[in-house]
Amino acid sequence: MRLDSLLALKEGPRDLEMLLRDMNADEETLLFHMNTLQEYYLVSDNGERYGLTTIGEVIADEMMPLLEHLDELEKTLGPGEGFKNPSNPGYSLRT
């Protein structure tokens, strides 16, 4: 959810309602992840909207080529396979 939050905010600042709708998440879960992103200085909150910090923008930009590569792997390996960690089968970059 943190990755998807960063990517959603890459498109521009969003209020909590917009993020809840975009992420299809419950408020408690989303707030937990947004607080974690704030602790790492990736996301800021001005009281009305969440947005990426400068470092958050850099990280989101740098992640795009990796995600595109993983999407290509998924086309070859099958749905979800490009995002899995072989040493931890239950883990996915998309979750």
Task: Tell me what pLDDT residue 71 has.
Answer: 74
Domain count, the chain: 1
pLDDT digits (tens, 9 = 90+) for 26-54: 999 999 999 999 999 999 999 999 999 99
Question: In the predicted model, is pLDDT for residue 86 greater than 80?
Answer: no
The domain that holds 29 is classified in CATH as 1.10.10.10
Buried b (16+ CB within 10 A) or exposed e, 56-80: beebbeebeeebeebeeebeeeeee
Q: 76 or 28, which is more confident?
A: 28
> Whole domain around residue 44: which residue ranges?
2-92
> Per-residue pLDDT averaged across 51-73, rounded?
88
